[in-house]
Amino acid sequence: MTKITELSQLDLNGTYSYADYLSWQLDDAVELIKGKIQLMSPAPNVQHQRISRRLCSSIDVFLHGKTCELFVAPFDVRLYDRKKALLANHDIYTVVQPDLCVICDKSKLDIQGCNGAPDWIIEILSKGNAKKEVNIKHALYQESGVGEYWLIYPYEEVVQQFVLSEQTATYQFLNSYSGDDQAIPHLFPDLAIDLPKLFEEI
């Protein structure tokens, strides 16, 4: 079997599984969306990293001693229809690396990452990836059953919050936080993230 070390060795129009993904030894960061290779954006900029670090600090302190756990990219999250049971690697066709995710069901964690939908995903947008995150991943996270999804717009200093409705299995737009607001997760109503501090000096 040929060792895959270059993106040029792959058919970008082909369909691949997570088992294929694990066998690759690429320098390029990629995700799989329903079997299709998606190139990830270049390394995050300073603004992105500051926001990520501040979020990590606030969330990690809050979760200390609780059953839920925070993970930060690069971290593989395997996704599929929420109605399906846990799948084997060769049956999984979507693997993403959210900027931050919180997982409360420890049975979804294994040595490779998360097998199934996290409870909360946060994506910090850049100008280059906004369309993909807003359109493709919104639908993907909804289908796979991610309970809460935040989109952070650094340049606008806005946080958008979506929560999955159990009745309709679709995302409901809950809040748009900005200015001097405190962003409060639906999952953790006792956690308040101060936006002026989050966006300070970005």
Q: What is the DSSP string of 145-168?
A: T-SEEEEEETTTTEEEEEEE-TTT
pLDDT in tens, 9-48: 999 999 999 999 999 999 889 999 999 999 887 778 899 9
Alpha-carbon torsion angle 140, 70, 108, 187, nearest 10: -70
CATH topology of domain 46-198: tt1808, chain A (3.90.1570)
- Specify whether the CB–CB gap between 97 and 77 falls below 8 A: yes
Amino acid at 105: D
pLDDT in tens, 158-175: 999 999 999 999 999 999
Q: Where are the domains of the chain?
A: 7-39, 46-198
pLDDT in tens, 108-140: 999 999 999 999 999 999 876 667 667 899 999
- Specify whether the CB–CB gap between 202 and 45 falls below 8 A: no
What is the reported pTM? 0.93
